[in-house]
């Protein structure tokens, strides 16, 4: 569109200059009233380079010439500057443009509105900072005054009425408790901020506040031991319709080494937090971590690409952050995110740029010319080491984080900011698929793998949604009698085109994506349908299903099992749950709660693939486990391998002492069965008895063996 028309409409307010090969710079918009204060034009509207009134613009031409010399499409900004004229103050920005078509332009923009907006944002940020400092200062003043008074009057009997009256009327909430936590004095502001009433005094509310923020039992004693107050900001929602940000000071008053009083100070800073969030968003900052947000980060990456500056881009994902929020609390999760951002900023210093680009995702840009004494791989290793060290949070927990990292480079991998971010994200997704604490660099091969996995993931999602998966059953027999006493449910996937996709492919795919949750729900309901079919055929046997580690950490799992059993009107005694050993290592406390709940419902618990993972007597002793399944790798060569024989005998002896039954998997020969019978193994499973088959075929077999 014509720049003259844009200026006339008030859409823009800028001067446009075009450079030609004869070294003439022609002004295309000479009619602008403020232009004469910035540049000098001759009668033909040619820019007079030797007579530029603006010192700043004259200096900028050094960079302009460099931009115009090159053959690369590029735009360089001068940043904002100010020109003082006789009549007004101008706020200006210049852009040197080398276009893809080979044309060269200079744009000088009047950016009064943008400048004012930026100044307003900065002023709002300064005001917020001053407001917050003022509140903290008030707390400090009140704390010191009360500390002085209370140390002189340890029983508070000589506190004169004027002091009590002053406390009662100040806007800061004040609560004074004795060393045992009994209320000595409070004021109107504390009643309002803490929602106190006749049945819930301020002393009770303070106890609730300390409990709601998950402070450890050592929190208050530690303040007494250190003889130091605690100050901080707390988000509190004691009831549904009341939520508040509080600036809180907790001060132990001591007479010598003896605790005499507790002083609590409260100020409502909700308005500061609300304004801070809008100010930070306007300035391109993340309101929680105070680092750049996604928009500012994307703009930065675009600028580096435009400047043709080689750099590396890293996307960093904190593993299983949802679990951290659920187990430690969302407040602890926020503490960790703030500490994580600070560690990243400390690590990179001035040699790069970081941002928070997702709930638990951060991004980092580092120019290639700053890798002076370290290569890319070593740099990533150092980064992982820095951000995964132990974190200490308010509730006393000390979690160790895992991070996955995806890396891409400009211009090696991509030529635009958007595609570069996509490349780094592809590398990140591939790293997450491989496990925890994995870092990968983008490549074409990785892109192909990602595309194939994404396609298969989409097909699996549709297969679950359209109920295309089938449940097969494999018998588990009593080795002493040969009777079928149990069966294992195994998912099979045959596409509508008749293609068989191995569970060794689609089960790990589900576990590494969010599909494990709908898949798990499908499996539980299908298992209950199968139990009903078995009962209808007079086969009262248990059916076992496998539960992955990710399902165990999902709080909805227990509800899904309960609901499925209730919907099918089945007792828990018809169901068995199989877990792998790695689940116990990663989340022993969570698993312990789950297993006790399952056992209370009558559901039995088995450890699958025993001996192949992190075998530990601790969980065999502490957890309610009914059965161990010896992995097929120890059974497959049982006839001739003396090491396998020794391992199997040791497991059988251990289980016997702990009163745990044993199921041997993968039995294929009579000799393997005979060895297990001779050493008193309880149950067997394998191709010797039956391969996994559809439910109707399994029922026919089980009825024959009955």
Q: Looking at residue 106, what DSSP letter applies?
A: E
Beta bridge partners of 42: none
3-state secondary structure 554-600: CCCHHHHHHHHHHHCCCCHHHEEEEEEHHHHHHCHHHHHHHHHHHHH
Judge whether 109 and 13 are in contact, CB under 8 Å. Answer: yes
Whose CA is closest to 410, among 400, 401, 398, 418?
Answer: 418
| DSSP 3-state of 515 | coil
Q: Is residue 305 exposed (0-12), middle (13-18) or buried (19+ Cβ within 10 Å)?
A: buried
Note the pLDDT tens digit of each residue in 534-593: 999 998 899 999 988 777 766 678 888 999 999 999 999 999 999 876 666 555 666 777
Backbone φ, ψ for residue 457 (5° rounding): -60, -40
Number of Cβ atoms within 10 Å of the Cβ of 224: 16
Distances (CA, A) of 301 to 55, 114, 670: 30, 22, 66
Judge whether 443 and 475 are in contact, CB under 8 Å. Answer: no
CA-CA-CA-CA dihedral for 8, 9, 14, 18, to nearest 10: -70
Q: Is residue 280 exposed (0-12), middle (13-18) or buried (19+ Cβ within 10 Å)?
A: buried
Question: Rounded distance, CA 695 to CA 330, Å?
Answer: 45
Judge whether 341 and 362 are in contact, CB under 8 Å. Answer: yes
Catalogue all structural domains in the chain, each as residue range(s) with its CATH number: 3-110 (3.30.450), 120-272 (3.30.450.20), 288-442 (3.30.70.270), 455-705 (3.20.20.450)
Q: Tell me the pTM.
A: 0.51
Beta bridge partners of 701: none
**So what's the pLDDT on residue 393?**
60
Question: Rounded distance, CA 311 to CA 300, Å?
Answer: 12
Whose CA is closest to 291, among 365, 367, 370, 353?
Answer: 353
Q: Is residue 126 exposed (0-12), middle (13-18) or buried (19+ Cβ within 10 Å)?
A: exposed
Beta bridge partners of 683: 478, 663
Point out the residues of the chain with pLDDT beneath 70.
Answer: 1-12, 23, 72-73, 100, 113-137, 152-164, 166, 274-284, 326-327, 329-330, 392-399, 553-555, 581-590, 611-619, 621, 705-706
| DSSP 3-state of 107 | strand
Distances (CA, A) of 324 to 360, 553, 559, 596: 11, 10, 21, 22
Question: Rounded distance, CA 639 to CA 366, Å?
Answer: 59
Number of Cβ atoms within 10 Å of the Cβ of 271: 11
**So what's the pLDDT on residue 46?**
92
Judge whether 598 and 565 are in contact, CB under 8 Å. Answer: no
**So what's the pLDDT on residue 1?**
40
Question: Rounded distance, CA 181 to CA 205, Å?
Answer: 12
Judge whether 132 and 268 are in contact, CB under 8 Å. Answer: no
Question: Rounded distance, CA 663 to CA 649, Å?
Answer: 13
Q: Is residue 518 exposed (0-12), middle (13-18) or buried (19+ Cβ within 10 Å)?
A: middle
| DSSP 3-state of 128 | helix
**So what's the pLDDT on residue 256?**
80
End-to-end CA distance of the chain: 86
Note the pLDDT tens digit of each residue in 118-156: 555 555 545 554 555 566 667 777 777 777 777 766 555
Q: Looking at residue 155, what DSSP letter applies?
A: T
The DSSP annotation for 464-510 comes to HHTT-EEEEEEEEEETTT--EEEEEEEEEEE-TT--EE-HHHHHHHH
**So what's the pLDDT on residue 658?**
82
């Amino acid at each position: 569109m014509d720049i003259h028309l844009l200026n006339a409409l008030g859409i823009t307010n800028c001067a446009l200059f075009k450079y030609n090969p004869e070294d003439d710079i022609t002004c295309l918009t000479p009619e602008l009233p403020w232009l004469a204060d910035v540049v000098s034009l001759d009668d033909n509207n040619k820019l007079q380079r030797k007579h530029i009134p603006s010192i700043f613009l004259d200096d900028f031409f050094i960079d302009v010439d460099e931009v115009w010399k090159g053959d690369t499409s590029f735009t360089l900004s001068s940043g904002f500057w100010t020109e003082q004229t006789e009549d007004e103050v101008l706020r200006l920005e210049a852009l040197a443009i080398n276009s893809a078509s080979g044309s060269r332009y200079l744009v000088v923009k009047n950016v009064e509105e943008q400048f004012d907006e930026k100044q307003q944002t900065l002023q709002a940020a300064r005001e917020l900072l001053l407001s917050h400092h003022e509140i903290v200062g008030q707390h400090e003043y009140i704390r010191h005054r009360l500390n002085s008074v209370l140390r002189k009057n340890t029983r508070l009997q000589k506190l004169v009425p004027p002091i009590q009256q002053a406390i009662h009327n100040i806007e800061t909430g004040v609560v004074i408790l004795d060393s045992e936590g009994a209320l000595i004095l409070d004021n109107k502001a504390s009643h309002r901020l803490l929602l106190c009433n006749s049945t819930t005094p301020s002393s009770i509310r303070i106890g609730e506040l300390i409990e709601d923020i998950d402070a450890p039992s050592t929190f208050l004693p530690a303040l007494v031991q250190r003889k130091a107050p605690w100050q901080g900001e707390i988000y509190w929602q004691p009831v549904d319709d009341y939520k508040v940000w509080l600036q809180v000071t907790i001060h132990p008053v001591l007479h010598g080494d003896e605790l005499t009083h507790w002083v609590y100070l409260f100020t409502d800073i909700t308005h500061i937090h609300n304004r801070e969030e809008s100010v930070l968003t306007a300035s391109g900052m993340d309101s929680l971590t105070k680092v750049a947000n996604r928009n500012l980060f994307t703009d930065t990456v675009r600028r580096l690409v435009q400047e043709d500056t080689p750099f590396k881009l890293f996307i960093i994902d904190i593993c299983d952050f949802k679990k951290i929020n659920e187990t430690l609390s969302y407040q602890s999760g926020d503490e960790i995110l703030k500490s994580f951002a600070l560690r990243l900023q400390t690590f990179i210093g001035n040699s790069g740029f970081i941002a928070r680009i997702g709930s638990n995702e951060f991004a980092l840009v580092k120019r290639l010319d700053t890798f002076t004494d370290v290569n890319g791989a070593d740099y990533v290793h150092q980064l992982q080491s820095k951000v995964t060290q132990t974190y200490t949070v308010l509730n006393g927990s000390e979690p160790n984080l895992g991070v996955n990292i995806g890396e891409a480079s400009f211009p090696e991998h991509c030529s635009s900011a958007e595609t570069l971010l996509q490349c780094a994200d592809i590398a990140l997704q591939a790293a997450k698929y491989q496990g925890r604490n994995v870092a990968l660099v983008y490549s074409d091969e990785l892109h192909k793998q990602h595309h194939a996995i994404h396609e298969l993931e989409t097909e699996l999602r549709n297969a679950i949604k359209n109920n295309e998966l089938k449940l097969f059953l494999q018998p588990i027999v009593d080795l002493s009698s040969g009777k079928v006493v149990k069966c294992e449910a195994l998912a099979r996937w045959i596409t509508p085109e008749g293609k068989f996709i191995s569970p060794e492919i689609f089960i790990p795919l589900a576990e590494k994506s969010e599909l494990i949750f709908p898949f798990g729900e499908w499996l539980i309901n299908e298992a209950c349908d199968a139990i009903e079919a078995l009962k209808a055929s007079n086969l009262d046997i248990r059916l076992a299903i496998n539960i992955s580690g990710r399902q165990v950490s999902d709080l909805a799992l227990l509800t899904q099992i309960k609901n499925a059993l209730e919907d099918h009107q089945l007792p828990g005694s018809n169901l068995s749950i199989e877990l792998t050993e790695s689940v116990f290592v990663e989340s022993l406390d969570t698993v312990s709660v789950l297993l006790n709940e399952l056992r209370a419902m009558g559901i039995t618990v088995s450890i699958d693939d025993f001996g192949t993972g992190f075998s530990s007597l601790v969980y065999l002793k502490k957890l309610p486990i009914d059965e161990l399944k010896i992995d097929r790798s120890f059974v497959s060569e049982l006839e001739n391998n003396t090491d396998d024989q020794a391992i199997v005998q040791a497991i059988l002896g251990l289980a016997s002492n702990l009163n745990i039954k044993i199921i041997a998997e993968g039995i294929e020969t009579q000799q393997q069965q005979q060895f297990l019978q001779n050493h008193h193994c309880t149950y067997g499973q394998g191709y010797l008895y039956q391969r996994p088959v559809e439910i109707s075929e399994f029922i026919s077999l089980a009825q024959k063996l009955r």
